[in-house]
Chains A and B, each alone.
Chain A
Amino acid sequence: DVKVTQSSRYLVKRTGEKVFLECVQDMDHENMFWYRQDPGLGLRLIYFSYDVKMKEKGDIPEGYSVSREKKERFSLILESASTNQTSMYLCASSLFRGNSPLHFGNGTRLTVT
C-alpha cells in the first residue's frame, strides 16, 4: 500500500511566521501535490511537482512556495502566514499518468492566529 505521510496533524502558528508543511511518500511516485480544503470550496490545488526540483503553480499559489529536493519529499512553505491561510492542507502523490489515482496523506489542519 502506498503511504503518504504528513508531518503534523494539527498546527497552530502566529501571523507572520514562516511555516513548513512536510510530506513524504514511499512508492516512488513521480507526481506530488498540495491541496487545501475549505468548507464549500472543495479541494483546491496550490502547487504540484512531476519530478525532483520541478514545480508548477496550481490554482491558488499566492502566499505559498514549495520545495522538492528528493523524489519522496514535497514541502509546502508559507513564507509569512496569514489568517486566511487557516485551512486543512492535504498532500497527495501519484504515478505520472493522468489516469493514476491520487494517494492522500491524512491532512494537516493549520490554524493561523
Chain B
Amino acid sequence: ILNVEQSPQSLHVQEGDSTNFTCSFPSSNFYALHWYRWETAKSPEALFVMTLNGDEKKKGRISATLNTKEGYSYLYIKGSQPEDSATYLCARGGVYNQGGKLIFGQGTELSVKP
C-alpha cells in the first residue's frame, strides 16, 4: 500500500480566516491527485482532479496546487465560511491501467466558527 498522508488532521478557524492543508504522496508511478470534500451526513464530493506537475485548479474560494516531483499538493481556502466545515480528503491515483483505483489519505477535518 502506498501511503498518502494529510496534515493537519484537524483544523479550527474563525470565519474569514484563510487556511491551507497538505497532502503528501509517493511520487513514483504517479497518475492523478484527487481532492474531495465530505460534509457531515452527505456523500464525498469531488473538488479537483490534477495530473500535471505545476497544475493549479480553482473553484470559487478553494484552490489547489500540485507538485508531482516532490509528491505533495496543497489545498487553499480563502476567507473560510461556516459552510466550508467538512473533512477534506486527498487521494492518489496510480498508473493508468489500474482503472481509477485510488489510495486515500486520512483526511483533514476543518471546522469554521462564525
Contact = CB atoms under 8 A, between A and B. Distances in A.
Interface of A: 4, 30-31, 33, 35, 40-45, 48, 50, 56, 58-59, 90, 94-107
Interface of B: 1, 4, 31-32, 34, 36, 42-46, 49, 51, 89, 91, 93-96, 98-107
12 contacts: A40-B106, A42-B4, A43-B89, A43-B104, A56-B101, A58-B101, A90-B43, A98-B94, A98-B101, A102-B36, A102-B44, A106-B42
Contacts of A31: 99-100
B108 to A, nearest CB: 11
Contacts of A44: 104
A59 B1 contact: yes
Given A31-B99, A98-B96, 13 more contacts: A33-B101, A42-B89, A42-B104, A42-B106, A43-B91, A43-B104, A48-B100, A48-B101, A50-B100, A90-B43, A95-B100, A98-B31, A102-B34
Residue of A31, A44, A48, A98 contacting most chain B CB atoms (<10 Å): A98
A31 B104 CA distance: 17
Contacts of B42: 106
B43 A106 contact: yes
Contact of B32 (A58, A99, A104): A99
Secondary structure of the A side of the interface?
loop
B51 A99 contact: yes
Contact of B96 (A58, A59, A97, A103): A97
A98 B46 contact: no
Contacts of B34: 101-102
Contacts of B95: 98
Given A42-B104, A45-B101, A48-B99, A101 B89 contact: no
Contacts of A104: 36, 43-45
A23 B43 CA distance: 14
Nearest to B6: A42
Contacts of A97: 96, 100
